[in-house]
Copies of this chain bind each other. A is one copy, B any other.
Amino acid sequence: MAQSVKKTLIGLKSGKMSVEKALDFLKDLPYKDLGFAKVDNHRALRRGFPEVIFSPGKTVDQIVKISKRILAHDGLLVITRADRKIYRRLKRSFPKIRYAEMARIVYLQKATSVARKKGLVLVVTAGTADMPVAEEARVTLEIMGNRVETLYDVGVAGIHRVLDKKHILNKADVVIVIAGMEGALASVVSGLVSKPVIAVPTSVGYGASFGGIAPLLTMMNSCSPGVAVVNIDNGFGAGYLASLINR
């Protein structure tokens, strides 16, 4: 977090930190070169949130090394699409690390690292099977300091379920709508609210849903303006963007 840089500068100015230690901290800016990875230590300063590790395609060893560099520099580590094996391995080095299993997120957060935000983000799903994606969004939002509420399984097959919750929709500042199959829920919700809607197509479905292409196109073509779309199953991206909007 930018907090770490700030703390270093304050420590230096106040005399509580030696020039050597400050230099040591700052020399990894703007990134730390590990050979197989350039850890973007500058990101927290630039974007308000440190680099997040996307697990697929990385070896557990690589993830451990990058994690150590991030924690050496920032107060916050987030690893997405992480399986239990990654969690167990990091647990050995960082006993306080946590694992949100359904969300597949491993994270470690120092108490003071994130400022709480005032707005409310609502995470809505069309079906129960969309929950892993929704949880990825929810956990991301909470780590980033947002108030979150959820409204799961209110798909358009029984539209009274979402109409019945208009009061919850109305009090939200940002709405994330997560749906697979035909993905119609995003348009419907957008038509009911005056807040930005982030739509997440999911790969829930079969046959002509083509692994999420069907809801992606549905959401992309929403007849109701005020909707934008992130990648299929990208709960993290939706949560991250909602948090930027919620500032």
Taking Cβ atoms with an 8 Å cutoff, the residues of A that contact B are 30-31, 35-38, 40, 42-43, 46-49, 51-52, 54, 56-58, 62, 66, 126-131, 152-161, 163-164, 180-184, 187-188, 190-196, 198-199, 201, 203-234, 236-238, 240-241, 244-245, 247
Contact A229 B232 (CB under 8 A): no
Contact A31 B158 (CB under 8 A): yes
A38 CB contacts on chain B under 8 angstroms: 152-154, 158, 161
Q: Which of B182, B206, B224 contacts A232 (CB 8 A)?
A: B206
- Interface-centre pick from A37, A62, A240 (highest chain B CB count, 10 A): A37
Besides A195-B247, A208-B231, A228-B238, 4 other CB < 8 A contacts? A35-B152, A157-B224, A184-B187, A208-B216
**Bound Cα distance A57, B237 (Å):** 21
Report the minimal beta-carbon distance from A85 to chain B, rounded to whole angstroms.
17
Q: In the complex, what residue of chain B is closest to A52 when comparing beta carbons? A: B225
A35 CB contacts on chain B under 8 angstroms: 152
Contact B214 A227 (CB under 8 A): no
**Bound Cα distance A190, B201 (Å):** 21
**Bound Cα distance A241, B224 (Å):** 11
A215 CB contacts on chain B under 8 angstroms: 221
Q: In the complex, what residue of chain B is closest to A228 when comparing beta carbons? A: B228
A191 and B157 in contact, given A206-B231, A207-B212 (Cβ under 8 angstroms): yes
Contact A181 B223 (CB under 8 A): yes
**Bound Cα distance A193, B158 (Å):** 11
**Bound Cα distance A54, B219 (Å):** 18
Contact B220 A231 (CB under 8 A): yes
A207 and B196 in contact, given A187-B157, A221-B231 (Cβ under 8 angstroms): no
Contact A57 B129 (CB under 8 A): yes
A156 and B221 in contact, given A47-B194, A161-B38, A241-B228 (Cβ under 8 angstroms): no
Report the minimal beta-carbon distance from A79 to chain B, rounded to whole angstroms.
13
